[in-house]
């Protein structure tokens, strides 16, 4: 067996305020970027993995996901307590004896991984190799792996691996052509459809904390036993469930985010992300590329009063409320002073509501289409803010903004338009600010090369297919847009890994 051991990428330091359960601590943006280079180097080396096992902790799972994505999302990472942060090398060795794979990738933590390498390469465990974050070791082992019978073939720190990428004019070693990435991309719709089907059946909620058999779940979900068993097996392979014997259980992620009994459930997001209007936008990408914009109609999803935004307001509120709370942390406000906040294209209203919750002397004004504002009002009432929550119905480009404001929030809106239109909007925003006011823009911001970080970089295609001229803009482009609108300097801040970033601009 060829065993590749990988330590998770950089995840910063424990922070009980942001992550009360340290198992949820994610990678930093720098860690994510560094590991993308590490994964690319491994791909160029010609490595192929039959299976990827990962610790169930968020930072390890994200590391495994970045690696798998680089290899075309094949194979799907499999979370296992075998590689948890408190696992011991002897137990891992026993567990690996039951794993069938020619080349196996294990993503985990220190000091467990260095202990595993020591046990594999020396019976007394004395030959320790310290694993840096995103570090990789490759061992040739017996099958099954046994103590003292492994040979360490490679041990590289991330900087050394990245250097290989920089110096290589081509692949670092001959890479056997593989259709895996191609087939994985073509069949990805099956994965999203399976997940949506499970959510429609309330399968994750039916499984709950105890775990159940397919027969029991079929009864609870009003489905056939055969269909339930096949769907549950698929979701197990895809990493959403675990299976022991004939009983299925939720992974830590599924329990937290897909069980409707969880306060952190974000299952409703599927109603927007999987909406027919958005799937229609991707029905003919070639046509969108030829046109240079959406084929959904002249305005795409930015048409006035487009119904998809009511879906957005309802479906994305739970997910965006978590992002909004982290955004509030990044904006310094004097709690002793009154605070007037305008939330432009407010949608669900969660960004303005987050400021309203944090600052008792604030008044929040939400601007959006009238049908969307009905949903925002519901959320404001639920947050106890109805007396401090006002609305302006209409277009952000035409409505009277009724300033001045101390803060104007522009969350996830500029990317829908070309730079000139964005500049026109931000000129209006600046005019609505008090002299010492600030604009707080939330955006998916790719690096200058436009291919990292992955989610922000790939978001440009969403804008190509859904809007006439939208894009995911780099910070340099956004800063230029804001300066042309009259703002002074802008500062880029990251509220959390992998998602939108925050730009704070002084009037």
pLDDT confidence of residue 317:
96
**Fold type of domain 188-265:** Arc Repressor Mutant, subunit A (1.10.10)
Residue 196 CA to residue 235 CA, distance in Å, equals 11
pLDDT at 464 over 80: yes
pLDDT (average), residues 334-360: 96
- What pLDDT, in 10s, does the model give residues 188-232? 999 999 999 999 999 999 999 888 999 999 999 999 999 999 999
Residue 408 CA to residue 434 CA, distance in Å, equals 10
pLDDT confidence of residue 16:
87
pLDDT (average), residues 394-405: 97
Query: DSSP of 305-322, one letter per residue?
Result: T-THHHHHHHHSHHHHHH
- What pLDDT, in 10s, does the model give residues 251-300? 888 999 999 999 999 999 999 999 999 999 999 999 999 999 999 987 89
pLDDT, averaged across the chain: 90
Residue 318 token pair: 């739970």
- What pLDDT, in 10s, does the model give residues 130-187? 899 999 999 998 878 888 888 888 888 887 776 665 655 454 444 456 687 788 889 9
* 80-89, 157-166, 248-257, 343-352: range with highest mean pLDDT: 343-352
Asked if domains 188-265 and 310-506 share a fold, the reply is no
Cβ proximity of 259 and 206 under 8 Å: no
CATH class of 2-174: alpha beta
pLDDT at 104 over 80: yes
Task: Look at 65-69, 119-123, 463-467 and tell me which has the smallest mean pLDDT.
Answer: 119-123
pLDDT (average), residues 379-406: 97
pLDDT confidence of residue 145:
84
pLDDT confidence of residue 169:
44
pLDDT confidence of residue 176:
54
Q: CA separation (Å) from 263 to 16, 231, 260, 282, 369? A: 19, 25, 8, 32, 28
CATH node for 310-506: 3.40.50.150
- What pLDDT, in 10s, does the model give residues 299-327? 899 999 999 999 999 999 999 999 999 89
The domain spans of the chain are 2-174, 188-265, 310-506
Candidates 4, 84, 94, 118; CA nearest to 52 is 4
Residue 291 token pair: 């046109």
């Amino acid at each position: 067996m060829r065993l590749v051991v990988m330590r998770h990428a950089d995840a910063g330091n424990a922070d009980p305020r942001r992550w009360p359960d340290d198992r949820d601590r994610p990678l930093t943006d720098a860690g994510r970027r560094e590991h993308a280079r590490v994964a690319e180097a491994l791909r160029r080396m010609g490595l192929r993995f039959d299976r990827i096992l990962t610790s169930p902790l968020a930072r390890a799972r994200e590391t495994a996901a970045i690696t798998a994505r680089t290899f075309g999302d094949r194979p799907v990472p499999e979370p296992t307590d075998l590689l948890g942060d408190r696992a011991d090398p002897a137990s891992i060795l026993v567990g690996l004896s039951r794993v069938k794979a020619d080349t196996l990738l294990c993503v985990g933590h220190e000091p467990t991984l260095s202990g595993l390498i020591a046990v594999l390469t020396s019976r007394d465990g004395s030959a320790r190799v310290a694993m840096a974050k995103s570090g990789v070791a490759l061992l040739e082992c017996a099958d099954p792996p046994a103590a003292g019978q492994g040979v360490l073939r490679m041990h590289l720190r991330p900087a050394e691996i990245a250097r290989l990428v920089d110096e290589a004019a081509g692949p670092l070693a001959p890479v056997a052509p593989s259709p895996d990435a191609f087939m994985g991309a073509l069949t990805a719709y099956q994965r999203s459809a399976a997940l949506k089907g499970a959510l429609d059946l309330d399968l994750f909620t039916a499984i709950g904390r105890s775990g159940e058999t397919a027969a029991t779940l079929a009864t609870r979900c009003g489905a056939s036993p055969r269909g339930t068993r096949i769907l549950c097996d698929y979701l197990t392979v895809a990493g959403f469930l675990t299976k022991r014997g004939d009983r299925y259980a939720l992974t830590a992620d599924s329990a937290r985010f897909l069980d409707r009994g969880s306060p952190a459930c974000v299952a409703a997001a599927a109603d927007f992300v999987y909406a027919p209007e958005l799937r229609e936008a991707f029905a003919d990408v070639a046509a969108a590329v030829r046109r240079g914009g959406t084929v959904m109609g002249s305005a795409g999803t930015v048409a006035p009063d487009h119904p998809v935004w009511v879906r957005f307001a309802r479906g994305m509120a739970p997910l965006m409320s978590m992002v909004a709370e982290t955004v509030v942390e990044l904006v310094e406000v004097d709690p002793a002073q009154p605070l007037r906040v305008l939330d432009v294209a407010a949608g669900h209203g969660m960004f303005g509501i987050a400021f309203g919750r944090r600052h008792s002397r604030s008044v929040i004004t939400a601007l959006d289409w009238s049908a969307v504002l009905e949903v925002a009002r519901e959320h404001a009432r639920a947050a106890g803010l109805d007396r401090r929550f006002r609305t302006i119905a209409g277009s952000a480009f035409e409505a009277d903004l009724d300033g001045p404001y101390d803060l104007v929030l522009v969350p996830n809106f500029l990317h829908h338009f070309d730079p000139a239109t964005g500049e026109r909007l931000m000129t209006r925003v600046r005019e609505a600010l008090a002299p010492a006011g600030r604009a707080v823009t939330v955006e998916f911001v790719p690096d200058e090369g436009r291919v990292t970080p992955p989610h922000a970089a790939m978001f440009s295609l969403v804008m190509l297919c859904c809007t006439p001229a939208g894009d995911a803009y780099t910070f340099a482009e956004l800063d230029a847009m804001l300066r042309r609108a009259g703002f002074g300097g802008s500062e880029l801040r990251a509220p959390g890994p992998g998602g939108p970033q925050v730009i704070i601009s002084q009037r």
